[in-house]
């Protein structure tokens, strides 16, 4: 495939030639994907349906869940379908779409996590000014900037990546990851995309430093809380946030800065899973489901779901018809 500027399709990572191992990969990714989708949809539903959760803090969490849904849905389903159908193909435009959608949601995710660290800093260190700083006008402007930043990053990365000439179509990863695509270049380094990558790493490290400083100020304020229970509650909230952000940023930086190998690597695969699949699963659990108000609303939604499911499964057809008719009356 030498001297081609484009390729008709790409070949993604083949986990194994053994059919049973392919099905095992499909099952494991399916469980991970369903768990991620369920957790994030519960958060979105709870916040959207309950008026008591209609505040900027909870809408930050809802946007975070939407971004996690978008990023994981851009890359996991295609990998599962390939394992189920015993194929490795992804079309050229499918690969372009994966890069654009994943980078857009991942960049907006990082921007929002940075904003949420500042939100927690204001809430804990300056609680009397919180309503003034984080009002609806500020929330709207912040969310517009977060989504625009993600969109701009997505456009820049996609344009820079696919402006190169590809000499191979074998991508040693389970989705179209940018470092793996750049490794297929005929002309070596692409200055445009390398520049975008360097700028992204600098921006990511800047966000990470901002988050670290915000949480350092929070910890300093927490240590002044006279109540031992209050300190433990604040620390148990902030430390998991910091852990997830660190995992997302550090593994992502390693995956993008370490030169990819020419053959499938367990290290490359592990780093990619850590920054692309695990944060969307852990974010709703750590950021949202530890909140007692959200847990209460989710429990109500779960009870309603169970009632409707039992009604659908166990009521006899004549009774269901009578119940439907009575509702119409």
Per-residue pLDDT tens, the chain, 329 aa: give them.
Answer: 444 446 788 999 888 788 888 899 999 999 999 999 999 998 998 888 888 888 888 899 899 999 999 999 999 999 999 999 989 999 999 999 999 999 999 999 999 999 988 888 888 888 888 888 888 888 899 999 999 999 999 998 898 888 888 888 999 899 999 888 888 888 766 677 677 777 777 888 888 889 888 888 888 887 777 777 766 766 666 777 777 788 788 778 777 777 776 777 778 888 888 888 988 998 888 877 777 788 888 887 776 655 555 545 555 455 444 444 433 33
SS3 134: coil
CB of 90 closer than 8 Å to CB of 169: no
Q: Is residue 138 part of a domain?
A: yes
Q: Residue 233: what pLDDT? A: 66
Looking at the structure of the chain, the number of domains it has is 1
> Tell me, what's the pLDDT at 296?
81
Q: How far is CA 181 from the centre of its chain?
A: 21
Tell me the C-alpha distance between 113 and 242, whole Å.
Answer: 10
pLDDT reported for residue 328: 37
pLDDT score of 136 = 87
318 in any annotated domain: no
User: So what's the pLDDT on residue 188?
Assistant: 64
Do 215 and 242 contact (CB within 8 A), yes or no?
yes
Are 211 and 117 in contact, with CB atoms under 8 Å apart?
Answer: yes
Is residue 329 included in any domain, yes or no?
no
Residue 265 φ/ψ, nearest 5 degrees = -125, 135
In a domain, 169, yes or no: yes
The answer to the question of residue 325 being in a domain is: no
**320 within domain boundaries:** no
Could you tell me how many residues make up the chain? 329
pTM score, whole prediction: 0.85
Q: For residue 145, what are the CA distances in angstroms to 11, 140, 152, 203, 312?
A: 36, 9, 10, 15, 44
CB 157 within 8 A of CB 200: yes
The tokens describing 26, both together, are 């499909």
* Residue 137 lies inside a defined structural domain of this protein: yes
Domain range for 81 is 9-310
Sign of the dihedral through C-alpha 203, 207, 212, 214: positive
- Could you tell me if residue 31 is inside a domain? yes
CATH of the domain at 97: 1.20.1070.10
């Amino acid at each position: 495939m030498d001297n081609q500027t484009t390729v008709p399709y790409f070949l993604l990572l083949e986990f194994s030639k053994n059919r049973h191992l392919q099905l095992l990969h499909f099952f494991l990714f399916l469980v991970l994907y369903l768990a991620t989708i369920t957790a994030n949809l519960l958060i979105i539903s709870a916040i959207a349906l309950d008026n008591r959760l209609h505040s900027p803090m909870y809408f930050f969490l809802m946007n975070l869940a939407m971004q996690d849904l978008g990023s994981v849905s851009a890359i996991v389903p295609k990998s599962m379908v390939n394992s189920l159908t015993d194929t490795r193909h992804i079309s050229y435009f499918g690969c372009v779409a994966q890069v654009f959608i994943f980078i857009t949601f991942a960049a907006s995710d990082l921007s929002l996590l940075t904003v949420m660290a500042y939100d927690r800093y204001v809430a804990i260190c300056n609680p009397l000014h919180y309503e003034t700083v984080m009002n609806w006008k500020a929330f709207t402007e912040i969310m517009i900037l977060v989504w625009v930043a993600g969109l701009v990053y997505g456009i820049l990365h996609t344009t820079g990546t696919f402006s190169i000439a590809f000499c191979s179509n074998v991508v040693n990863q389970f989705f179209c990851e940018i470092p793996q695509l750049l490794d297929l270049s005929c002309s070596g380094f692409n200055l445009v995309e390398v520049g975008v990558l360097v700028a992204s790493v600098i921006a990511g490290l800047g966000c990470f430093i901002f988050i670290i400083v915000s949480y350092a100020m929070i910890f300093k304020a927490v240590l002044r809380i006279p109540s031992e229970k209050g300190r433990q509650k604040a620390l148990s909230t902030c430390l998991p946030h910091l852990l997830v952000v660190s995992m997302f940023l550090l593994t992502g930086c390693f995956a993008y800065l370490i030169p990819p190998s020419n053959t499938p690597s367990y290290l490359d695969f592990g780093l990619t899973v850590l920054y692309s699949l695990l944060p969307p699963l852990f974010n709703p659990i750590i950021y949202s489901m530890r909140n007692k108000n959200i847990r209460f609303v989710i429990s109500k939604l779960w009870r309603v779901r169970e009632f409707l499911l039992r009604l659908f499964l166990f009521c006899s057809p004549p009774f269901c018809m009578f119940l439907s008719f009575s509702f119409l009356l």
